[in-house]
Amino acid sequence: MLAFILVALNDQDSIFAPLTYAQGLAERLNARLQILFVFTKTSPSKQREIFRLIVPFVEKSKTRGLEIECFFTKGEFIDEVFKFCQQHRVDIVVIPSAEDEKKRKSYSNQIKELQKKLQRSVILVNKKLKKGGMPVRKGKLAQVSIKTKQKEGK
């Protein structure tokens, strides 16, 4: 059975680590990759910049034989991820870990609530953890780290 992996991104956290992790996971599982980008506090120029970053990633993934779809929306990140999961088939959710230390605890609680509502695996990707991170177990919150070669522009 084909698995559906959602990588949910926002304009406040890193996008390359979760994208790269989700892409590798989709390739290993022969799964379909869905990218949901939620704009929360972004100017039109920043939105265009994000489109310019995402489009080449999607095109390159397609040339590697990956089935991939891309969705864009505006709103509160966790609410939009939850709505998307209710409207689409999603087996695994990959999201960035909050990079801001102050935001991390609140964000972590929101993610746990999301996971409880969805009853799906939620993988937090934190580019600052050592490679390997924690193992992913069904029904558990996991953090996974990968190294990326690309640098994000601010």
CATH label of the domain that carries residue 69: 3.40.50.620
Give domain status of residue 151, yes or no.
no
CA–CA distances in Å: residue 113 to residues 6, 81, 110: 17, 12, 5
Domain tally for the chain? 1
Give domain status of residue 153, yes or no.
no
Confidence of residue 1 (pLDDT cuts 50, 70, 90): low
Domain containing 96: what range? 4-144
- Quote the CA–CA distance of 79 and 110 in Å, as a whole number: 10
- Quote the CA–CA distance of 35 and 22 in Å, as a whole number: 9
Q: What is the pLDDT of residue 99?
A: 67
Give domain status of residue 101, yes or no.
yes
Longest CA–CA span in the chain (Å) reads 40
For residues 22 and 33, is the Cβ–Cβ distance under 8 A? yes
**What contacts 6, CB < 8 A, 6 or more positions away?**
34, 35, 36, 81, 84, 85, 88, 90, 92, 93, 94
Q: What is the pLDDT of residue 2?
A: 75
Give domain status of residue 16, yes or no.
yes
Residue pLDDT, tens place only, 17-58 = 888 889 989 999 999 999 999 988 777 888 888 888 888 888
Give domain status of residue 11, yes or no.
yes
